[in-house]
Amino acid sequence: MRGIDASPPEPVTSTPGLRRDLLAWFQAHARDLPWRRQPTPYTTWVSETMLQQTQVATVLTYYPAFLARFPDVWALAAAPIGDVLKAWEGMGYYRRAHNLHRAAQVIVRDHRGRIPSGEAELLALPGVGRYTAGAIRSIAFGQPAPILDGNVKRVLSRLDDLSDSIDLPAVEKRLWQRAAELVDPDQPGAFNEALMDLGATVCVPQNPTCLLCPWRDVCLARARGAQDERPVRSRRRPTPHFDVVAGIVWHASDPDRFLIAQRPLDGMLGGLWEFPGGKQQPGETLPEALARELREELAIEVAVGEHLVSLDHAYTHFRITLHAYHARHTGGEPVCLGVAGWRWVTLADLDAYAFARTDQRIIEALRTGGGVSPPANHAP
C-alpha cells in the first residue's frame, strides 16, 4: 500500500490570472509617485535613470528640482554638464547624469527632440539598457515590453522557485523570458509598475510579507517554504579597500583661498570637483602620498599639515577610507597633468561647484570647524 504524500500541492500559475490579480492589487496599493501622475517619455526616462541604484525616498527629493531646472529634453541638452552634475550632486553614480546629458543631445540632434519609442533606437542612447528601454516603452508608449530589475528578479525567482543563481546569464535570460510572458498586453505600464511595487513593498529581500501578496497562492517558493532562500546569488568576492588622501591646499599668500580640482570628464566621477589627492601606495605615509599625488596631478609642492577628518565610503566594487589633510602651497603653479581643471576658491564659493559625497563631507567638516583659518595654522 502506498504511503500518503504529505507535501503541499504545486500551485498552478495561470498567466491571465497572475495579471488580473497583480493589477487588482496595484489598483488598491500603488505608491503615489510624482513621475506616475502624468507620465511622459521624458519624465519616465529621467525618473527611471534616477531610480537605478538609488532608493525611491532619495529620488523623491531630487526629481522635482531636476525637472524644474531641466523641464524637457531641449533644456537638458543645452545645459552645461557642470549644471547637470550640480543638480545631481549627492545622488551618486554620476555616470547616469553624464549619460542623460549625452543622450539628450543625441535625441535633439538625431530625433528632433522626441524620445524614440523603438527598442533599437532607445538602446542606442547612452546609458539606456534593456530595463530602461522596457520601462519607457511600456509606461510612456503603452508597448508590451518587459522589465527586469533587482526587485522584479526577486519576485520572479520566488514565483517560480528558481534554485540557480540569478547572476548566471542563463538564469537572467530565463527571467527576461518570464517577464515577457507575464507583461499585460493591454496595460503594460501599470503591470510593470505593479511588479516593481510588489518587489519594493511586499516581496522584499528579508522577511517578505507573503500573506499580503496577490500571488501568495501561486508562488512556488512559498508553497515549498523556500521564500527566504530566494533569490539565490553567486558568492561575491571580498570587496577591496583602499586608503585615499585629499588635501585642503591653502594659498601661500591669500589665507582665505584653497585649491580644488576637477576630475577628468571620462573617468570615475567625471567632471565633479574635489579636494585633490589620490590613493596611498605601499610603503608611503599618508602625508607622503598626498605630497606625491599633488606633484603628479598638479605639478605643485606642498607642506602637509594637520589632519582634518577621515571618512569611510563604499562604491559599487570597492571601499575607501578618505583622509583629508590641511596643506600649504609652497611651490609651482598648478598644471592640469591628471585633472581637467583647477580653481583657487573660498569656502563661500563652493556652492557653485558639484562635489561627490566624500568631498561634501570634507566641506561639512571645514564649515563645522568654525570656518577658515590662516594656512600657517594648518601646515608647517
* DSSP code at position 139: I
Confidence of residue 13 (pLDDT cuts 50, 70, 90): low
Q: Beta partners for 323? A: 245, 310
What residues are annotated to the active site? 48
Does pLDDT of 2 surpass 60?
Answer: no
Report the predicted TM-score, pTM, of the whole model to 2 decimal places. 0.82
**CATH 3.90.79.10-classified regions of the chain:** 241-377
User: 154-164: per-residue pLDDT in tens?
Assistant: 999 999 999 99
Report long-range pairs for 25-30 (Cβ below 8 Å, ≥24 apart).
Answer: 25/194, 25/198, 25/214, 26/190, 26/191, 26/193, 26/194, 26/197, 26/198, 29/197, 29/201, 30/193, 30/194, 30/197
Q: For 352-361, what is the mean pLDDT?
A: 92
Measure the CA–CA gap between 313 and 62, rounded to whole angstroms: 21
C-alpha–C-alpha distance, residues 181 and 358, integer Å: 44
One CATH from 1.10.357.10, 1.10.340.30, 3.50.50.60, 3.40.50.300 for 15-229: 1.10.340.30
Q: Residue 303: what pLDDT?
A: 95
**Beta strands 301-314 and 277-279, pairing class:** unpaired
User: Sorting pLDDT into bands at 50, 70 and 90, what band is 377?
Assistant: very low
The fold of 241-377 is Nucleoside Triphosphate Pyrophosphohydrolase (3.90.79)
What would the pLDDT profile of 196-225 be if each residue is shown by its tens digit? 999 999 999 999 999 999 999 999 999 999
Pairwise CA distance, residues 380 & 376, whole Å: 7
Which range has the worst mean pLDDT, 113-122, 280-289, 370-379? 370-379
Distances (CA, A) of 111 to 3, 48, 141, 342: 68, 20, 16, 36
Q: What one-character-per-residue DSSP string does 348-378 give?
A: GGGGGS-B-HHHHHHHHHHHHTTS---GGGT
DSSP string for residues in 37-64: HS--HHHHHHHHHHHTTS-HHHHHHHHH
340 — pLDDT class (breaks 50, 70, 90): confident
Listed range (9-13, 73-77, 79-83) with the worst mean pLDDT = 9-13
Look at the block and give the residue holding cell 543645452: 78
Residues of the chain with pLDDT > 70: what percent? 93
* Cα–Cα nearest to 143, from 44, 264, 256: 44
Residue 319: Cβ within 10 Å count: 12
The CATH 1.10.340.30 portion of the chain extends over: 15-229
pLDDT confidence of residue 1: 35
Amino acid letter, 87: A
pLDDT tens, 84-143? 999 999 888 899 999 999 999 999 999 999 999 999 999 999 999 999 999 999 999 999
Q: Please, are residues 83 and 59 in contact by the beta-carbon 8 Å criterion?
A: no
